[in-house]
Chain A
Amino acid sequence: MTQDYITYTAFALVCLLLLTLPFVPAFREWLRPTDFAALPISANYTTDIDHFARRLHADVSARLGLGEPTGFEDFEFVGDPASAAGADLDWRKAEKRLIARSSIASPSPVRSAQPVYVQGSLRAGAESSFPALYATGDITLGEHSTVDDWAHADGVLRMGQRSVALRRMSAGNAIELDNETCFERLHAPALRFGSRVSHVLPPAGAEQTPASYADLPGAVRQTPLLYLIRGDCALPPASIYRGSLVVTGFLTIGAATTIIGDIKAREGVSIGHRASVQGAVTCEKRVYVYKDARTWGPVVSESDILIGANALVGLPDAPTTVTARNIIVEDGVVVHGTLWAREIGMVKQA
């Protein structure tokens, strides 16, 4: 009997010990806190694409005595006639960020291991490479060039065929990417793709017939300006619809049809030849924007977006965003605003 009590007591003590053990570090952390700060949230956080470019610009301005000190003003000068060291510097062996005090035009490739800031324009030959690049004028890089982190031109940023533009590319006027160039995130008032000059067709207005979502099979009126259709939906060609539409299946917009409103389709969207969506396009799967089609608002896909030749996205006075996991744009496409491929984007020859 006594042995039973001893066994029970020992068992109880072991249990108590096991239950108590986790409280030892808990008490220590409570009494002597080591990790208690609020989760940091940057009050000034935004998704501005030129964030790093502006930071480099601020550092350079500080270095040149043109701006407030930033604490990150360590640079080397390159290509500057006033600096002998700068003229002879091997860009690939540079250990500090580089500043060029004037424009650079090199028919041969320029390869730098450090971010470069150019006061003026930069023209570099094929197979140039930079981790990061800023020019107060234009940037023109030959074919097979590479930018690893970001690039910004206050004017126009051009990259030749089969280049690779990783992370963030931005420009004050325009970005022009030639065929078979890969990209991730681009932002400029105008993004032009391919070698072909875009010829934007006039709107298809004259031949269009007014139509209503209410006449579509299975249409459910959600609000006066929004209809819902379960399953697939095909909008006939050369029609004009006013209001927004949600489709739980695949949405096909006929050629030369205009929608004045937003659209959402869960299984996919196809915007036909010369069709126009004067609102946002949202889709959980693939979006096809056919040749010569137009969209005004954001185009969002959780999968892929294919934008056909000569299609136009956004407006010069109303830039917008195109975002998807993968984006393929064909020759002659123009986008006003931001193009953001979370995995990879590519320019395809039509």
Chain B
Amino acid sequence: MGAGPSLAQVHATGALIPSFKDYPIAAVMASLLFLIVVTMMIYGVRHFMFTMNRLTGVQRHPYIDIAVARWPMITVFIAAHNEEKVIAGCIEALLNTDYPADRLKIIPVNDRSKDGTGEIIDSYVARYPARISPFHRSTGKAGKSAALKDALHFAEGDIAIIFDADYVPGRGLLKQLVAPFFDPEIGAVMGRVVPVNSAANLLTRLLDLERSGGYQVDQQARMNLNLLPQYGGTVGGVRLSAVEAVGGWHDDTLAEDTDITFRLMLNGWKTVYTNRSECYEEVPEEWSVRIKQVTRWAKGHNQVMTRYWWKFATSSYLTLGQRLDGLLLLFVFVIPLVMLAGWCLALGLNFLNAGSLLASLIPIFALMIYGTLGNFAAFFEIVVAVLIDGNRRRLRLLPFNMLGFLVSLFAISGAVWSLLLDRIFKREMVWDKTIRYRSKAAE
């Protein structure tokens, strides 16, 4: 580290970045770190703006008041793979919905289940033959997106609503999710997902906080600002003619929801988030399951990012704000790797004794951004979301969310690395199903 004493002199000259000529390695490292911090600041400002919008902006719920209409024919798909613990609850809830029965077709998509899922579905079909049309799938490509792609051929009407089997939709939920489709510009609709097992342990409680932030603030703010709320693949629906128009349902991705969201958006369709259309889901109760889930999301999302980021950036249908927000959303699962790189760079510069203004200030900025406003420590956003939800004391757990963020940080970074290896070695990506915790007795 002979460069140490010399670099320290940079501080005296007041230069922000060490000279590229005299200290090439340090200069490159400092420049990269500077870019990373700027990127993190952009994400931080974005989250801050979302949160402030949620606190002070006009809240958009344009379709929630459509209570009476000639409701269109819809098909509800229940994605099910070994779901014997939960499938009955979902079917029962859909049978009890207030959506007109003669305009509602329910298709449980039994994708190669090896447990009692198929029998449970058939027992309901025997009782409600006019309302439920089962889709049993024993062969074909594995994974939710592939199963849904096959099942969509049997849809009736132009609207497909999709639930995972562990979801329990309320009576009025279908009407709320279908109402936005009266707007012919809407390609996809997303409701709010609420953890049902939040009380199980520390992990579920932390995920409950995260989910609050993600839906109550993030998604609703995007809706308010006319940006791009994301369709999440469940508790939501798509317009089938729109899906067809943008190239059909893709089954070669781990994140078919993100894939369809971005293809719809870049082709001039809109997605809508309806914050009051709430539905329970189970969140992982074990860290290993959570890591698998995050890894799958990260791989799928990054697949979409590599496919569409340029088309999205150059789409003529989008406003500048939509383009910027969409790109930030697209790159969100790369940021943990970037952040890790930032930490390494900061550490490296420290060991190089780069006592310049840059080296002194950037770690402070970084700490501030990461700790309060940053994308993976969006504490302010979570606080506001939880307060809007009417809770308060659970916010005491907030410091522990750092743990969740750290786990996600490394899981996502690993996923990005794994995705690169998949590309290089042309490995097929494997769908890891999230396990269920509900006991039959609890149903």
Which A residues contact B (CB, under 8 angstroms)? 22-23, 25-26, 28-30, 33-39, 41-49, 187, 220, 222-226, 228, 244-246, 261-264, 280, 282, 284, 296-298, 300, 302, 318-321, 323, 337-338, 340, 342
6 contacts between A and B (CB under 8 A): A30-B400, A38-B208, A39-B278, A44-B171, A47-B175, A261-B184
Q: A35-B393, A38-B198 are in contact. List 7 more A-B contacts (CB 8 A).
A: A36-B199, A38-B196, A244-B184, A246-B185, A298-B182, A300-B65, A337-B69
The smallest C-beta distance from A236 to any residue of chain B, in angstroms, reads 21
Q: Is the CB of B171 within 8 A of A320?
A: no
Q: Is the CB of A226 within 8 A of B65?
A: no
With contacts A45-B170, A300-B183 known, is A39 near B70, CB below 8 A? Answer: no
Contacts of A342 in B (CB 8 A): 65
B280→A320 contact, CB < 8 A: no
Query: A321 to B397, Cβ gap below 8 A?
Result: no
From the candidates B199, B212, B244, name the one contacting A33 in the complex (CB within 8 A). Answer: B199
Among A33, A35, A47, point to the contact of B65 (Cβ < 8 A): A47
Asked if A43 and B393 make an inter-chain contact with CB atoms under 8 angstroms apart, the answer reads: no
- Is A228's CB under 8 angstroms from B171's CB? no
Are B394 and A321 in contact, CB atoms less than 8 angstroms apart? Answer: no
B62 within 8 A of A: yes
The answer, yes or no, to whether B54 is at the interface (CB within 8 Å) is no
> A264 and B391 in contact (CB under 8 A), knowing A45-B170, A320-B69?
no
Query: Looking at the complex, which one of A38, A223, A245 makes contact with B280 (CB distance below 8 Å)?
Result: A38
Residues of B within 8 A of A220 (CB): 268
Query: What is the bound-complex CA distance between A9 and B241, given in angstroms?
Result: 67
Is B241 within 8 A of A36, CB to CB?
no
Cα–Cα distance between A248 and B418 once the two chains are bound (Å): 42
Which residues on the B side are within 8 Å of A28 (C-beta)? 396
Least CB separation from B202: chain A residue: A30
Q: Are B68 and A280 in contact (CB under 8 A)?
A: no
Most B Cβ at <10 Å: residue of A35, A44, A264, A300: A35
Q: How far is the CA of A282 from the CA of B268 in the complex (A)?
A: 16
Contacts of B199 in A (CB 8 A): 33, 36-38
**Are B182 and A26 neighbours in the complex by a CB distance under 8 Å?**
no
Q: Which of A284, A318, A321 has the most CB of B within 10 A?
A: A321
Contact, CB under 8 Å: B67 / A338: yes
- Within 62-82 of B, Cβ neighbours of A (below 8 Å) are at 62-70
- Contact with A35, one of B67, B212, B245, B394 (Cβ below 8 angstroms): B394
Contact assessment for B396 and A320 in the assembled complex, using a CB-CB cutoff below 8 Å = no
Least Cβ distance of B320 to chain A in Å?
Answer: 15
Chain A residue contacts of B269, Cβ below 8 A = 222
Task: Determine the chain B residues whose CB is within 8 A of the CB of A37 once the complex forms.
Answer: 198-199
Q: Look across to chain A and name the residue whose beta carbon is closest to the beta carbon of B389.
A: A39
Known: A39-B389, A222-B245, A282-B184. Contact between A29 and B68, CB under 8 A? no
Tell me if A26 and B400 are in contact (CB < 8 A): yes
Chain B positions 241 through 266: 1 when the CB is less than 8 Å from some CB of chain A, otherwise 0: 11011000000000000000000000
With contacts A223-B241, A337-B68 taken as known, whether A282 is within 8 angstroms of B172 at the C-beta atoms is no
A30-B202, A280-B182 given; A300·B396 CB < 8 A = no
Contact of A298 with B69 at beta-carbon distance under 8 Å, contacts A43-B170, A46-B172, A222-B268 already known:
yes
| Cβ proximity bits B89-114 to A, threshold 8 Å, 1 near / 0 not | 00001000010000000000000000
A241 → chain B closest CB, angstroms: 13
Report the minimum CB–CB distance from B199 to chain A (whole Å): 4
Task: Provide the bound-state CA to CA distance between A140 and B170, in Å.
Answer: 37
User: CA of A302 to CA of B212 in the docked complex: distance in angstroms?
Assistant: 26
How far is it, in angstroms, between the C-alpha of A319 and the C-alpha of B68 when the chains are bound? 6
In the complex, A36→B194 CA distance in Å?
13
Which B residues fall within an 8 A CB radius of A?
60, 62-70, 93, 98, 168, 170-172, 175-176, 179, 182-185, 194-199, 202, 205, 208, 212, 241-242, 244-245, 267-269, 278-280, 389, 391-394, 396-400
Closest to A31 in B: B202
Of the residues A43, A46, A262, contact of B182 by C-beta under 8 Å: A262
Q: How close is B102's CB to chain A, nearest CB, in angstroms?
A: 14
- A226 and B184: CB pair below 8 A? yes
Whether B66 pairs with A323 at a CB distance below 8 angstroms is yes
Contact check: which of A26, A35, A43, A320 meets B93 at CB < 8 Å?
A43
The answer to whether B244 touches A223 (Cβ under 8 A) is: yes
Pairs A-B, 9 closest by C-beta atoms: A46-B172, A35-B393, A323-B65, A280-B182, A29-B396, A244-B184, A282-B183, A35-B394, A25-B396
Q: Which residues of A contact B198 (CB under 8 A)?
A: 36-39
Looking at B67, B170, B208, the one whose CB has the most chain A CB atoms below 10 A away is: B67
Contacts of A38 in B (CB 8 A): 194-199, 208, 280
Tell me the minimal C-beta distance from B86 to chain A in angstroms.
15
Contacting pair B182 A223 (CB below 8 A): no
Q: Which residues of A contact B280 (CB under 8 A)?
A: 38, 41
A47: chain B residues at CB < 8 Å are: 64-65, 67, 172, 175-176
* A216 to B411 CA separation, bound complex (whole angstroms): 52
Let me know if B62 and A302 touch, CB within 8 A. Answer: yes
With A38-B195, A226-B241 already in contact, the answer to whether A300 and B68 are too (CB < 8 A) is no
* Across-interface contacts of B197 in A (CB, < 8 A): 38
Closest B residue to A225 by CB, please name it.
B241
User: Smallest CB–CB gap between B351 and chain A, Å?
Assistant: 19
B66 touches A298 (CB 8 A): yes
Please determine whether B182 and A300 come into contact, CB atoms closer than 8 angstroms.
Answer: yes
Q: Report whether A45 and B171 are in contact in the complex, using a CB–CB cutoff of 8 Å.
A: yes
List of B residues within 8 angstroms of A46 by Cβ:
67, 98, 171-172, 175
Measured CB to CB, the closest approach of chain B to A294, in angstroms, equals 15
Q: Is the CB of B392 within 8 A of A223?
A: no
Q: Which residue of A lies closest to B179 (CB)?
A: A298
Tell me the bound Cα distance from A297 to B242 in angstroms: 21
Q: Which residue of B lies closest to A243 (CB)?
A: B184
> Is B184 a contact partner of A35 (Cβ separation < 8 A)?
no
Cα-based distance from A296 to B69 in the complex (angstroms): 9
Instruction: Kindly list chain A residues whose C-beta atoms are within 8 Å of the C-beta of B399.
Output: 22-23, 26
Are B67 and A264 neighbours in the complex by a CB distance under 8 Å?
A: no
